Homo-oligomer: A and B are copies of this chain.
Protein backbone atom coordinates (compact mmCIF):
# COMPACT_ATOMS: atom_id res chain seq x y z
CA UNK A 1 0.00 0.00 0.00
CA UNK A 2 1.19 3.52 -0.67
CA UNK A 3 1.86 5.94 2.18
CA UNK A 4 -1.25 7.92 1.26
CA UNK A 5 -3.40 4.80 1.57
CA UNK A 6 -1.86 3.92 4.94
CA UNK A 7 -2.55 7.45 6.13
CA UNK A 8 -6.17 7.20 4.99
CA UNK A 9 -6.64 3.86 6.74
CA UNK A 10 -4.96 5.14 9.92
CA UNK A 11 -7.20 8.24 9.92
CA UNK A 12 -10.34 6.16 9.36
CA UNK A 13 -9.27 3.81 12.14
CA UNK A 14 -8.99 6.76 14.52
CA UNK A 15 -12.41 7.98 13.39
CA UNK A 16 -13.86 4.51 14.03
CA UNK A 17 -12.29 4.62 17.50
CA UNK A 18 -13.84 8.01 18.18
CA UNK A 19 -17.32 6.92 17.13
CA UNK A 20 -17.15 3.75 19.22
CA UNK A 21 -15.91 5.83 22.17
CA UNK A 22 -18.95 8.09 21.86
CA UNK A 23 -21.26 5.06 21.92
CA UNK A 24 -19.53 3.96 25.14
CA UNK A 25 -19.91 7.42 26.67
CA UNK A 26 -23.64 7.42 25.86
CA UNK A 27 -24.06 4.05 27.59
CA UNK A 28 -22.25 5.50 30.63
CA UNK A 29 -24.67 8.44 30.55
CA UNK A 30 -27.66 6.09 30.52
CA UNK A 31 -26.20 4.21 33.51
CA UNK A 32 -25.63 7.48 35.40
CA UNK A 33 -21.90 6.82 35.68
CA UNK A 34 -19.35 9.38 36.80
CA UNK A 35 -16.53 10.94 34.77
CA UNK A 36 -14.24 7.98 35.14
CA UNK A 37 -17.01 5.58 34.17
CA UNK A 38 -17.49 7.60 30.97
CA UNK A 39 -13.78 7.29 30.16
CA UNK A 40 -13.63 3.56 30.88
CA UNK A 41 -16.75 2.75 28.87
CA UNK A 42 -15.57 4.94 26.01
CA UNK A 43 -12.18 3.21 26.09
CA UNK A 44 -13.37 -0.40 26.28
CA UNK A 45 -15.88 0.16 23.47
CA UNK A 46 -13.27 1.76 21.23
CA UNK A 47 -10.22 -0.40 21.91
CA UNK A 48 -11.61 -3.50 23.69
CA UNK A 49 -12.14 -5.57 20.56
CA UNK A 50 -8.68 -4.89 19.17
CA UNK A 51 -7.16 -5.56 22.59
CA UNK A 52 -8.76 -9.01 22.84
CA UNK A 53 -7.59 -9.75 19.27
CA UNK A 54 -4.01 -8.73 20.07
CA UNK A 55 -3.96 -10.74 23.32
CA UNK A 56 -5.21 -13.86 21.51
CA UNK A 57 -2.66 -13.38 18.70
CA UNK A 58 0.07 -12.67 21.26
CA UNK A 59 0.69 -9.47 19.29
CA UNK A 60 1.82 -6.24 21.01
CA UNK A 61 -1.41 -4.56 22.16
CA UNK A 62 -1.91 -1.80 19.58
CA UNK A 63 -2.71 1.14 21.88
CA UNK A 64 0.28 0.48 24.15
CA UNK A 65 2.60 1.59 21.38
CA UNK A 66 0.29 4.13 19.69
CA UNK A 67 -1.08 6.48 22.36
CA UNK A 68 -2.97 8.45 19.66
CA UNK A 69 -5.83 5.98 20.17
CA UNK A 70 -6.00 6.97 23.82
CA UNK A 71 -6.08 10.67 22.94
CA UNK A 72 -8.93 10.07 20.47
CA UNK A 73 -10.88 8.19 23.15
CA UNK A 74 -10.38 10.98 25.70
CA UNK A 75 -11.31 13.64 23.14
CA UNK A 76 -14.45 11.75 22.08
CA UNK A 77 -15.49 11.16 25.69
CA UNK A 78 -15.10 14.86 26.56
CA UNK A 79 -17.04 15.80 23.43
CA UNK A 80 -19.84 13.41 24.40
CA UNK A 81 -19.96 14.80 27.94
CA UNK A 82 -20.26 18.37 26.67
CA UNK A 83 -22.90 17.41 24.09
CA UNK A 84 -25.01 15.39 26.55
CA UNK A 85 -24.93 18.24 29.06
CA UNK A 86 -26.09 20.86 26.59
CA UNK A 87 -28.58 18.83 24.63
CA UNK A 88 -31.07 16.23 25.73
CA UNK A 89 -31.26 14.85 22.22
CA UNK A 90 -28.91 12.00 21.31
CA UNK A 91 -28.36 12.06 17.52
CA UNK A 92 -29.21 8.36 17.26
CA UNK A 93 -29.38 8.09 13.47
CA UNK A 94 -26.09 9.88 12.83
CA UNK A 95 -24.40 7.73 15.47
CA UNK A 96 -25.72 4.51 13.99
CA UNK A 97 -24.31 5.37 10.59
CA UNK A 98 -20.99 6.43 12.09
CA UNK A 99 -20.95 3.23 14.14
CA UNK A 100 -21.55 1.14 11.01
CA UNK A 101 -18.59 2.86 9.29
CA UNK A 102 -16.39 2.24 12.32
CA UNK A 103 -17.52 -1.38 12.45
CA UNK A 104 -16.75 -1.98 8.77
CA UNK A 105 -13.29 -0.53 9.23
CA UNK A 106 -12.50 -2.46 12.40
CA UNK A 107 -13.51 -5.75 10.74
CA UNK A 108 -11.24 -5.14 7.73
CA UNK A 109 -8.34 -4.09 9.97
CA UNK A 110 -8.86 -6.98 12.39
CA UNK A 111 -9.08 -9.67 9.72
CA UNK A 112 -6.06 -8.26 7.92
CA UNK A 113 -3.96 -8.14 11.12
CA UNK A 114 -4.97 -11.70 12.07
CA UNK A 115 -3.97 -13.01 8.61
CA UNK A 116 -0.63 -11.21 8.89
CA UNK A 117 0.05 -13.34 11.99
CA UNK A 118 -0.37 -16.49 9.94
CA UNK A 119 -3.56 -17.89 11.43
CA UNK A 120 -6.01 -19.99 9.42
CA UNK A 121 -8.84 -18.39 7.43
CA UNK A 122 -11.54 -19.43 9.90
CA UNK A 123 -9.55 -18.00 12.81
CA UNK A 124 -8.94 -14.76 10.90
CA UNK A 125 -12.69 -14.38 10.29
CA UNK A 126 -13.40 -14.94 13.99
CA UNK A 127 -10.73 -12.44 15.08
CA UNK A 128 -11.98 -9.89 12.51
CA UNK A 129 -15.48 -10.23 13.92
CA UNK A 130 -14.13 -9.93 17.48
CA UNK A 131 -12.27 -6.72 16.59
CA UNK A 132 -15.57 -5.18 15.51
CA UNK A 133 -17.90 -6.63 18.14
CA UNK A 134 -16.14 -7.41 21.42
CA UNK A 135 -15.61 -3.79 22.48
CA UNK A 136 -19.36 -3.26 22.57
CA UNK A 137 -19.80 -6.58 24.34
CA UNK A 138 -17.42 -5.64 27.17
CA UNK A 139 -19.15 -2.23 27.36
CA UNK A 140 -22.49 -3.92 27.95
CA UNK A 141 -21.04 -6.34 30.52
CA UNK A 142 -19.58 -3.40 32.50
CA UNK A 143 -22.91 -1.60 32.28
CA UNK A 144 -24.50 -4.76 33.74
CA UNK A 145 -26.66 -5.52 30.71
CA UNK A 146 -26.95 -8.59 28.52
CA UNK A 147 -24.75 -7.64 25.53
CA UNK A 148 -26.88 -6.14 22.77
CA UNK A 149 -25.07 -8.06 20.06
CA UNK A 150 -26.04 -11.38 21.64
CA UNK A 151 -29.69 -10.61 21.77
CA UNK A 152 -31.25 -8.05 19.60
CA UNK A 153 -29.49 -6.94 16.49
CA UNK A 154 -27.99 -8.26 13.30
CA UNK A 155 -24.54 -7.00 14.08
CA UNK A 156 -21.98 -9.76 14.31
CA UNK A 157 -23.25 -11.60 11.24
CA UNK A 158 -22.49 -8.49 9.15
CA UNK A 159 -18.92 -8.71 10.46
CA UNK A 160 -18.64 -12.42 9.68
CA UNK A 161 -19.86 -11.90 6.09
CA UNK A 162 -17.43 -9.01 5.56
CA UNK A 163 -14.48 -10.85 7.09
CA UNK A 164 -15.25 -13.94 4.98
CA UNK A 165 -15.29 -11.86 1.80
CA UNK A 166 -11.94 -10.35 2.76
CA UNK A 167 -10.37 -13.75 3.39
CA UNK A 168 -11.74 -15.13 0.11
CA UNK A 169 -10.61 -12.26 -2.12
CA UNK A 170 -7.32 -11.16 -0.52
CA UNK A 171 -5.14 -13.86 -2.20
CA UNK A 172 -6.13 -12.38 -5.58
CA UNK A 173 -6.79 -8.62 -5.36
CA UNK A 174 -5.88 -6.60 -2.26
CA UNK A 175 -7.87 -3.47 -3.11
CA UNK A 176 -10.97 -5.43 -4.11
CA UNK A 177 -10.82 -7.43 -0.88
CA UNK A 178 -10.60 -4.30 1.28
CA UNK A 179 -13.33 -2.43 -0.57
CA UNK A 180 -15.78 -5.34 -0.86
CA UNK A 181 -15.37 -6.41 2.79
CA UNK A 182 -15.78 -2.82 3.96
CA UNK A 183 -18.85 -2.31 1.76
CA UNK A 184 -20.42 -5.63 2.77
CA UNK A 185 -20.23 -4.87 6.49
CA UNK A 186 -21.41 -1.29 6.01
CA UNK A 187 -24.34 -2.04 3.69
CA UNK A 188 -25.53 -5.13 5.58
CA UNK A 189 -25.42 -3.22 8.86
CA UNK A 190 -27.29 -0.21 7.45
CA UNK A 191 -29.88 -2.56 5.92
CA UNK A 192 -30.23 -4.38 9.24
CA UNK A 193 -30.86 -1.06 10.98
CA UNK A 194 -33.32 0.15 8.33
CA UNK A 195 -35.39 -3.02 8.01
CA UNK A 196 -34.81 -4.21 11.58
CA UNK A 197 -33.25 -7.52 10.49
CA UNK A 198 -32.77 -9.99 13.28
CA UNK A 199 -31.48 -13.52 13.53
CA UNK A 200 -33.97 -15.43 15.61
CA UNK A 201 -33.18 -19.11 15.78
CA UNK A 202 -35.60 -20.14 18.50
CA UNK A 203 -39.37 -20.24 18.46
CA UNK A 204 -40.42 -18.81 21.81
Contact = CB atoms under 8 A, between A and B. Distances in A.
Interface of A: 28-29, 31-38, 40-41, 51, 55-58, 60-61, 63-65, 67, 70, 81, 84-85, 119-120, 122-123, 126, 137, 141-147, 149-157, 198-204
A200 B35 contact: yes
A122 to B, nearest CB: 5
A28 B154 CA distance: 16
Copies of this protein, total: 3
Given A61-B56, A144-B144, A199 B151 contact: no
Given A141-B142, A145-B144, A32 B202 contact: yes
A156 B203 contact: no
A154 B183 CA distance: 44
Given A64-B57, A150-B142, A36 B199 contact: yes
A126 to B, nearest CB: 7
A201 B151 contact: no
Contacts of A151: 31-34, 37
A67 B120 contact: yes
Contacts of A200: 34-35
Contacts of A120: 65, 67
A51 to B, nearest CB: 7
A64 B119 CA distance: 7
B146 A146 contact: no
A202 B64 contact: no
Nearest to A151: B33
Contact of A32 (B40, B56, B123, B204): B204
Nearest to A138: B141
Contact of A85 (B67, B154, B202): B202
Contact of A150 (B28, B56, B153, B155): B28
A34 B201 contact: yes
